[in-house]
Amino acid sequence: MTKLSVNINKIATLRNARGGNLPDVVKAAIDCERFGAQGITVHPRPDERHIRYSDVADLKKVVTTEFNIEGYPSEGFIKLVCGVRPAQVTLVPDPPDAITSNAGWDIVKNESFLKDVVAEFKKSGIRVSVFVDTDLNNIRHAYRIGTDRVELYTEDYAKQFSANKEKAIAPFVEAANAIKDSGIGLNAGHDLNLENLNYFAKNIPGLMEVSIGHALISDALYFGLENTIQMYLRKLVV
């Protein structure tokens, strides 16, 4: 079954809005694992507007499933991740002021840079995933940078799902098959939710992991965190 990694950034956003330590992101991560999550994802940004660098160190001490750190590979980010040594690092091309991830890497254009960064993380024993869209040229070049996995950026799928799910999924199926042929592992994330997740999981070959934050934490306001995680896990049973 595809693994569910819960992104807890939004819990940190709520904490930071008031100051103090309520809600406690470390306790939230422990609870997510206790409720069935198979991984915890965080995306620390330079301005620390949600997850703080200190949170990352604290979470490393308690996360017993897969710890995944997302971010743009700046000098500070590389130092943080290599010091913490999570199970996985996911590289995204976000500028520092981005509200959320909104594009995949142009691997062809950034091949030399990404190759060096990937090698640096792998030297520290960290599995590397690179955020990509469905551009087949990018995907076919992914093996050249040495990445272990790629994470498909699924916003376009989510936007088109309600209007025409078959059309929405088609480029992602094609991309997934190209990734499978390359021998690289496949993750996915961004705007996956209770409505569109099951169809995606059923139709994408070789899907190893999904990372879901905003929708899952929003649903938890209505259904409770434990129940929501179980609802998402059931969507991944295909």
CATH at residue 135: 3.20.20.70
Structural tokens at position 129:
């995933």
Instruction: Give me the catalytic one of 33, 70, 151, 209.
Output: 70
Question: What is the domain count for the chain?
Answer: 1
Catalytic residue check, 50: no
- Confidence tier at 108 by pLDDT (50, 70, 90): very high
Residue 99 has pLDDT above 60, yes or no: no
Domain range enclosing 145: 3-235
**Does position 97 have pLDDT exceeding 80, yes or no?**
no
Determine which one of 43, 66, 141, 151 is catalytic. 43
- What is the rounded CA–CA span in Å between residue 27 and residue 223? 19
In sequence order, the 6+-apart residues with CB closer than 8 A to the CB of 209 are 2, 3, 4, 5, 38, 39, 66, 187, 188
Cβ contact 194:232 at 8 Å:
yes
**pLDDT of 103:** 74
- Read off the pLDDT of residues 191-229 as tens digits, 9 standing for 90 and up: 999 999 999 999 999 999 999 999 999 999 999 999 999
Q: Is 102's pLDDT higher than 80?
A: no
Tokens matching residue 18: 């008031």
Predicted confidence at residue 95, as pLDDT, reads: 66
Q: Which of 66, 141, 151, 190 is catalytic?
A: 190
